[in-house]
Amino acid sequence: MHYEAVKTDFFTRKAAVLMALMAAGGFAFLARFGLGLGETTNLSNNYPWGLWIVFDLVWIALAGGAFVTAGIVYIFMGEDFHRLARPAVWMGFLSYSFVVVTLLADLGLPWHFWQLGIQRPEHSAMYEVSWCVSLYVTILGLEFAPTVFERFGWDKLKDLWRAWSPVYTVIALALFTYLMSHKIWMAALSLVLFAIITFLTRDSGKHSGVPVILIIAAVTFSTMHQSSLGSLFLLMPDKLSHLWWSPLMSLLFFLSAVASGIALVMLMDMLVSYFFDRPFNWAMLGKMGKILWAALAIYYGIKIVDLGARGELGLALVGSNGVLFLIEVIGGGLIPLILLSTQKLRSNKNLLVPGTVLALLGVIFNRLNTVLLGMTLPGTQPGGLVGTYHPSMVEWTLAISLISAAFFFFALGVKFLPILPKVEETN
DSSP per residue over 135-153, as a string?
Answer: HHHHHHHHHHHHHHHHHHT
Higher pLDDT, 346 or 76: 346
pLDDT of residue 44: 81
Strands (E) located in 317-379: none
The alpha carbon of 424 is separated from its chain's Cα centroid by a whole number of angstroms, namely: 30
The arithmetic mean of pLDDT across residues 199-225, rounded, is 85
**What does the domain layout of the chain look like in residue ranges?**
3-236+406-425
Radius of gyration of the chain from its Cα atoms, rounded to whole angstroms: 22
Query: Are 243 and 328 contacting, i.e. CB atoms less than 8 angstroms apart?
Result: no
Q: What region, left, alpha or beta, does residue 417 occupy, with left being phi > 0 and alpha being psi -120 to 50 degrees?
A: beta
Q: How far apart are CA 32 and CA 101, in angstroms?
A: 12
pLDDT of residue 426: 57
pLDDT of residue 382: 55
Q: Is a pLDDT exceeding 90 seen at residue 7?
A: no
Q: How far apart are CA 226 and CA 65, in angstroms?
A: 12
pLDDT band at 243 (very low <50, low <70, confident <90, very high): very high
To the nearest 10°, report the CA torsion of 395, 396, 398, 403.
Answer: 140
Could you tell me how many helices (H) and strands (E) the chain has, helices first? 17, 2
pTM for this entry: 0.91
Q: How far apart are CA 184 and CA 2, in angstroms?
A: 44
Q: Nearest to residue 425, comparing CAs of 97, 159, 79?
A: 79
**Residue 4 bridge partners (DSSP):** 420
116 SS3 class: helix
CB under 8 Å to 170, separation ≥6 — which residues? 191, 194, 195, 198, 213
Query: Are 195 and 174 contacting, i.e. CB atoms less than 8 angstroms apart?
Result: no
Q: How far apart are CA 222 and CA 102, in angstroms?
A: 19
Other CB atoms within 10 A of residue 118 CB: 6
Q: Nearest to residue 191, comparing CAs of 219, 164, 169?
A: 169
To the nearest whole number, what is the mean pLDDT of the chain?
89
pLDDT of residue 384: 54
Q: How far apart are CA 13 and CA 298, in angstroms?
A: 42
